[in-house]
Every structure is written in structure tokens, then in C-alpha cells.
Amino acid sequence: MSKKTSPQTRPGRRPRRIRAGGTTAGLKDIPRPTQEKPAPGGLKGRLRRYLPVAAVPNAVVVLGIIVMALVGLLFSGTSLAALPATIAQLWLILNLVPVSADGIVLGVLPLLPAMGLIALIARRVRVAVRERVSMADLLVLSISTLAVPLVLTLIAGAMMWDAGRVFDVGAPPLGHAVARTLLVHLIALAIGMGGKLWRALLRRYRAPDWLVDAATAAVRILLLLSAASLVILLVLLAVGWPRQVELAGLYGTSGGVLGTALLSLLYLPNAVIAVITVILGSEFHLGAASVSLYAIDLTELPLLPLMALIPAWAHPWSILLLLVTSITVAYVLGSARFTVAQTLATSVIIAVLLLVGGYLTWGEIGHLGTGGPMVWLTAGLAFAWTAGIGVAAALLGRLADRRAPAVTGEPEEHPTEPTDSEPAEFVDGEIVDVEDAPEDESEDAPEDAGEVEAVTSTEKAEDNVKAEDTEHRD
């Protein structure tokens, strides 16, 4: 038999293992599925997992307050007997609870430290709900987040009451102490839960999940108004710079100038809320003084750089700042293309947010009297601006959508409403029942797919070997 017709024997090849992906590798390289860590069961297990979420950051804050109180007392030469009262006052100030000393009540407190506390708590909550949580887990987490700071506030109030026997301090009003502490930590809890978890909650109770979109739009409007308010404050600073120089000359020392500048920085978020109040068309009061777009009536004010930003009189063209509000609302709601119901929900949410912000920045300012925005008027104007412009934008958008199919011949699209075919799973913030363990509905599918790919890859490898044999024989 000739070489052209008889097959030649080739040295034996070592069989190769073919992975499902078509590459040569051992089976030990195939990743194995990992089992999820089981969620804690029972009340004790949930408390062991979720109570530290609230306890640890609050404990860190209290330790920081103790250090600050010790440093402050040592530098001022005050007796350490005032340490408990100082610690209690700092905790109350951090939670925006009114404090009193030497017969002076201070209810308008700086927002910047409270915003830092909110960010810290929200971050811890976000980490805690990143994985699957049940309704029982969420309930324990919420109660822990609110109960721990509330207990600390009540302890601080008791410490202030006890210190009042020795020092000229007083306990805070119980109603404001409880309400403001709960509001601060409710804001942190709501932010930390995140949009996906809120959507899961709304779907669980068969509420429209577009409420999350409405809340997002309301927050976006407030953020844009805050940015515009900062720009207005910068313009006032540039225009009134001679007043700042004159005010700095009254202190004489660099320490006084630095201290008042730092205090003004702590109150900067309060000033932003005040400017938002004004550009909505409402009024802001500082005792007998009042500021609005229509008139400015000033009296004796604290010698702070932030107070020196207030102009002496209202310019006739200042009424045009209402355009900032209208353009902001129109831009956000016009780009969102909400329905009338979604627009009204956004209006209610932004009014509630301004009610909360106005309450937290309102109170007594020593001998000046009561200060802060006109809370109800501000919330009402915010609702009116958002609802009026938003409903008009929604109706115009609906009219445009109805006319579009007649011109283009294309069917009208109605996005948003989720259908049952959409996946109900969430990457994070998923709500599961305690009784039902998470199941994999298609456990065999990946194996079958892997087997098919492995067989296909093996056949391709055999074809390549045969092709190499044929080429060698030729």
C-alpha cells in the first residue's frame, strides 16, 4: 500500500480537557458557586446585626464631643465640673435641639454639623441594607436608628436639668428635643435606604413606584435652588465687600475675625435656606428684621460676616429673582416629562421638605426674638410654583404626545409603568420574606448550557486535530 493511500500512524496525543468556554484548563479552575451568608434569624439575631449600625456611629460622635468639651474647658480655664453640661449641650446642638445658658435661648442652630451627622448615619444604613433584607430586618434597623439617638437626647436633657442646679443652664423643651432628634435621624434613615429599597417597599404595598421619581425630582429642584442661592450669596459678598472689611476692623484681632468667619461657615446652610425662602417669594425674619424681594427692614443684627451680606434695601430689579425659581422648576419637570399625578406628588414632597427645613432652622435667637423663614408661607409657595409650572408642562407634553402619532404615523409610547414581566430582583436593597429562602429558579440551566458549550468546544477541537492530520498527510 502506497503512502498516498495508506494512513500513517501519528504519535498519540495527550487528551486535553476542554472547559465550557472552549479553553484548555483543568476542571479545578472552574469557579464554584458560593453560598450566601444566611440572614440572622429571630429578634436577638437581628438586634445583634442592626443595633450596632446605629450605636457605633453615635458612640463615635459622643466620644468626639467629649474630646471637644475637654479641650474647650482646658483652653478656656473653666472648671471640669462643667464637663457634663458641656457634653450635653454639644450633643443637643448637633441634633438641632434648642439650648439655653445665662438666660439666653438659642433655637436657630448651625446646620452644617447636623448635615455631617446625617451623612454618617446614612452611610451606615446604606451598608446595612446593601444585601437582602426582610421587613422584620428593616423594622429593627429603623427602630434602632431612631431609638439610640433619642435615648441619648433624653440623657442629655436630664444632664442639663441636673446641671441647672449649679450653673445657669436649663433643660431643653421636651417636645422640640424629641421632634428635632427624630427628624434629623429620619432624614438619615430615608437617605440611607436608597431608591431601590424604596421602590421595593412601594411595590410590596402596591403603591406606585414613580413616587421615588417624584421625590428625586423634588430633591433635584431643591439642590438647583441651593446652588442658585450660593451664587446669590457670592454676588452679595462681592458687592458688599466694604462692609466685610469694616466689620473685620471692629474685631481688631485675627482670632476674632477667624472665629466669626468659622461661625458664619457653620451657618452657611441656614443662609442657603433663607435665600431659597426669599427667591420663592416668601419672607425671612431675624427678630424684628425681615428680608424679602419686595422690602428689607433691618434692625440691630449680630456682628457676623453672614449678616453683613444682607443689603440695606431691596433693589427694584430684585423681583426678577423669581425667574430663577420658575426656570429651575420648569427645567426639572420639563425634562422629567411627568404626568399630572406625578407633578402633584412632586409638589407635595417639595412642600414637606421645605416644612422640615424651615422648622429645623426656626427658633429663638437670644434677645433678638424669633428668627427663621415663614414656614407655612414658604411651603405653600413652593407647592404653588411646582404644581403650577409642572401641571402646565405635563398638559403640554400630553398634547404634544397626542399630536405626534398623527404626524409621524408612529404609535404613541407610554413609558414608566412597570409590568409583571420586568424583573423584581434588585442588586441591593431587595426585600425578601423571612419564611422564604431565596431560590434559584433555573439551577439546571447553567449546567445544561455549560455542557452544550463543552460538547461544542470538544467537537471543534477534534475537527482541528483531524485537519492537522490531513495537512500533515498531504
Residue pLDDT tens, the chain, 474 long: 444 444 444 455 555 554 444 444 444 445 554 444 555 568 888 889 999 999 999 999 999 999 999 999 998 888 888 899 999 999 999 999 999 988 889 999 999 999 999 999 999 999 999 888 889 999 999 999 999 999 999 999 999 999 988 888 889 999 999 999 999 999 999 999 999 999 999 999 999 989 999 999 999 999 999 999 999 999 999 998 999 988 888 887 888 889 899 999 999 999 999 999 999 999 999 988 999 999 999 888 888 899 999 998 888 889 999 999 999 999 999 888 888 999 999 999 999 999 999 999 999 998 888 999 999 999 999 999 999 999 988 888 777 777 765 544 444 454 444 444 443 434 445 555 544 444 444 444 444 444 434 444 445 555 555 555 555 554
Q: Cβ–Cβ contacts within 10 Å for residue 1, how many?
A: 6
- Identify whether the C-beta of residue 97 lies closer than 8 Å to the C-beta of residue 104: no
- For residue 243, which amino acid is it? R
- Identify whether the C-beta of residue 372 lies closer than 8 Å to the C-beta of residue 283: no
CA-based angle 362:365:367, to the nearest 5?
150
Question: Can you give the three-state secondary structure of the chain, one letter per residue?
Answer: CCCCCCCCCCCCCCCCCECCCCCECCHHHCCCCCCCCCCCCHHHHHHHHHHHHHHHHHHHHHHHHHHHHHHHHHHHCCCHHHHHHHHHHHHHHHCCCCEEECCEEECCCCHHHHHHHHHHHHHHHHHHCCCCECHHHHHHHHHHHHHHHHHHHHHHHHHHHHHCCCCCEECCCHHHHHHHHHHHHHHHHHHHHHHHHHHHHHHHCCCCCHHHHHHHHHHHHHHHHHHHHHHHHHHHHHHCHHHHHHHHHHHCCHHHHHHHHHHHHHCHHHHHHHHHHHHCCCCEEECCEEECCCCEECCCCCCCCCHHHCCCCCCHHHHHHHHHHHHHHHHHHHHHCCCHHHHHHHHHHHHHHHHHHHHHCCEEEHHHCEEEECHHHHHHHHHHHHHHHHHHHHHHHHHHHHHHHHHHCCCCCCCCCCCCCCCCCCCCCCECCCCCCCCCCCCHHHHHHHHHHHHHHHHHHHHHHHHHHHHHHC
Q: Cβ–Cβ contacts within 10 Å for residue 391, how many?
A: 17
Burial class (CB in 10 A: 0-12, 13-18, 19+), 253: exposed
Handedness of CA 282, 217, 416, 212 (dihedral sign): negative
* 209 DSSP β-pair partners: none
- Find, among 174, 178, 355, 183, the residue nearest to 280 by Cα: 355
C-alpha grid cell, residue 464: 482541528
CA dihedral 158, 160, 163, 165 (to 10 degrees): -80
In whole angstroms, give the CA distance from residue 421 to residue 81.
66
C-alpha grid cell, residue 154: 433624653
Q: What is the pTM of this model?
A: 0.77
Length of the chain in terms of residues written: 474
Question: Can you give the three-state secondary structure of 299-342, one letter per residue?
Answer: CCCCCCCCHHHCCCCCCHHHHHHHHHHHHHHHHHHHHHCCCHHH
Question: What's the pLDDT score for residue 79?
Answer: 84
Question: What's the pLDDT score for residue 254?
Answer: 82
Question: What's the pLDDT score for residue 402?
Answer: 74
In whole angstroms, give the CA distance from residue 229 to residue 141.
36
What is the strand order of the sheet 169-170 is part of? 104-106, 99-101, 169-170
C-alpha grid cell, residue 158: 436630664
- For residue 32, which amino acid is it? R
Question: What's the pLDDT score for residue 466?
Answer: 54
CA-based angle 58:64:68, to the nearest 5?
140
- Identify whether the C-beta of residue 85 lies closer than 8 Å to the C-beta of residue 163: yes
In whole angstroms, give the CA distance from residue 14 to residue 22.
17
